[in-house]
Structure 1
Amino acid sequence: MTPEEIAATLRELFDTATINANAPGSWQVDTSSFRLLVLLSEDNTWLRVLLPIVPAESGQPFLEQFLEANFDDTQEVRYALHEGVIWGVFQHNSGTLVSADLSNAINRLVSLHQAGLNNVFNRLIESRMRQIIQAAKQQGQSLQATMQSLERFYAEGLMGEINQTSEAREEVLAVWRRRLERLWNEG
């Protein structure tokens, strides 16, 4: 892709008022919710698109899940860590890149940004639930007995928030129940 084609693709995706050409081969898209950077290498052979996702401090507990997502879920984009920020990154040889692929990658980056920590948090929760299921099955517990243990943990204050209302606790337990039922036969 030429710089002109990159600029045209950005104009197709974003309001032109949000697009700034900072220097030759460098664009910044500023919206109300994110700042997207598009950078060509000095020799124009590689294109990199960057979008900050979360501060590294917020994402630190989920680094394993970010890396797993890179392997399983992120397709042509990747999570990366640089200067205290977890970024969504797309890199491609600009000579073989076409507008449709750049548009798809940018849309995917925006999707990662919008999800923030939700996807990796859910991945972590599912991993922990699989561990609970595995431990319960090793002890010969049924799904019902496992659920009763979780309810007891909530009732005794071992799980949940200190000031959690009974309605909130029931909502959380309902989510646990649905997830356990979904994962029970898989694990």
Structure 2
Amino acid sequence: MIATIKTTLNAQSISQIIEEVSTLQETGEGCWKVEYNKRILFLIVDEIHDRVRIMTPIIKEEDLDEEDLWDVMEANFDRSLDARYAVGDGVLWSLFLHPLTDLSRNLFLDGLDQVVTLANNFGGSFCSSDIIFGSE
């Protein structure tokens, strides 16, 4: 049997990954504003509450119509994987929220990609990746 060692991410290691894969716009303790794949992303690490949040704004809440709201709710059920649509502070966001202690480098990078893909697919497929839950 081969033992595997899981490397848990923390604010410092996430900061290093962010510097490798994105363009840093602003930073503070446990938070970053970056450009990643032509989108502005906000990242927050809360080590006390064991959470990491990756999010990007999509559209102002006031510009959403009822059909948009139904589309994002349905997408959250079967077309988004780890990223989700969420409304907060008057904005529709694409959001990835995950326990920090269970987060690997690959899952973090996948979270970045899913947030961008979900935001870019708003108004179209509303998917966070090529995988759709329940499809063949």
TM-score normalized with structure 1 length = 0.57
How many residues are treated as equivalent by the alignment? Answer: 117
Q: Is the 8 A contact 1:38 1:50 kept in 2?
A: yes
Q: Is the 8 A contact 1:53 1:112 kept in 2?
A: no
Matched, 1:104 2:102: no
Unaligned runs of 5+ in 1: 121-187
Matched, 1:34 2:36: no
Matched, 1:8 2:16: yes
Q: 2:130: which partner in 1?
A: none
Separation in 1, partners of 2:25, 2:20: 14
Unaligned runs of 5+ in 2: 1-8, 127-136
- Cα drift, residue 35 of structure 1: 1.6
Q: Is the 8 A contact 1:54 1:116 kept in 2?
A: no
Q: Which has the higher contact order (CA 8 A, sep 6+)?
A: 2
Deviations 1:106-141 (A, max 9, x none): 101111222232235xxxxxxxxxxxxxxxxxxxxx
Separation in 2, partners of 1:21, 1:99: 22
Identify, as 1 or 2, the structure richer in helix: 1
Matched, 1:67 2:70: no
Q: 1:47: which partner in 2?
A: 52
- For 1:76-115, what aligned pairs fall within 5 Å after superposition? 76-115=82-121
Partner amino acid for 2:108?
Answer: L
- Cα drift, residue 56 of structure 1: 1.5
Separation in 2, partners of 1:42, 1:95: 9
Misfit runs of 4+, over 4 Å: none
Q: 1:155: which partner in 2?
A: none
Tell which structure's C-alpha radius of gyration is larger.
1
